[in-house]
Amino acid sequence: MKRKLPYLSMVMLLAAVTMSVLSSLVSLVSAAGNPVVVTMTDKPARYVPEKITVKVGTTVEFRNTGQVVHDVTTDASIVQDKADVSLPPDAKPFDSGFIAPGQSWSYTFTVPGRYLYACIPHEKDRMVGEVLVTK
């Protein structure tokens, strides 16, 4: 029985080290240019996660995992409530157009600041999100 305790301790240590290494690799891969993914769901109509923080130059992929069309816009001229969208100074508005179920759209954030965006078909359901872009 004395052998089981050290063996279990070694297994736990190995598992902890493995998780730490994997976590570091995931961070390195994300920093290397793989997109951050925001999914768009139907029930409830939401961006998941609703808020993210990324560095300048990060590409965010908006992936429609629902059964109906969604979109991503920061264009105040086409939303119902202009307070649902905003951009940092010097950033230009973007609009994905309708994204069909199973499809995705990507945007690379090049200007630091706070972006509020909305899904036009589901804005009344409060399908809004936020990206904070840091230097």
Tell me the two tokens of residue 123. Answer: 């804005």
Residue 4: predicted pLDDT = 53
Instruction: Tell me the CA end-to-end span of the chain in Å, nearest whole number.
Output: 55
Q: Consecutive 10-residue runs of the chain (135 residues): their mean pLDDT? A: 50 39 36 80 97 97 98 98 97 98 98 98 97 97
Distance in angstroms (rounded) separating the CA atoms of residues 40 and 120: 13
Report the pLDDT value the prediction gives residue 6, as an integer from 0 to 100.
57
> Quick check: 40 and 62 in contact, CB under 8 A?
yes
Q: Which residues pair with 72 in a beta bridge?
A: none
Predicted TM-score (pTM) of the model is 0.75
